[in-house]
Amino acid sequence: MSCTHLTEAGTAEPETTGECPECVAIGADWVHLRSCLTCGHVGCCDSSPNRHATAHFQTTGHPVMRSIQPGESWRWCFVDEEIG
């Protein structure tokens, strides 16, 4: 693995595990949930119409998120576009 963001990612716990708060606020649906490992922000995945996890990265620069779907444990680095 060449991505140092993945190896040095934080361990922030998700703020929630049951919903995308930004989608709830605007009455939108989501597909899957992702959590920022820097701050715990929860956003919807890129298969969701509003792509809130990616928007969080674009706004904050926090590089790594993880899936919080049951049974999944992968992480994604937005900067290097690597999975870990």
SS3 36: strand
Q: What is the pLDDT along the chain (84 residues), one digit of tens a residue?
A: 589 999 999 999 999 999 999 999 999 999 999 999 999 999 999 999 999 999 999 999 999 999 999 999 999 999 999 999
The number of domains in the chain is 1
pLDDT at 32: 97
* Cα end-to-end distance, the chain, whole Å: 8
- Give the residue numbers spanning the domain of 72: 4-83
Q: What is the CATH number of the domain that holds 31?
A: 3.30.40.10
SS3 83: strand
pLDDT at 2: 81
Q: Which of 62, 1, 8, 7 shows the shortest CA–CA distance to 34?
A: 62
pTM comes to 0.94
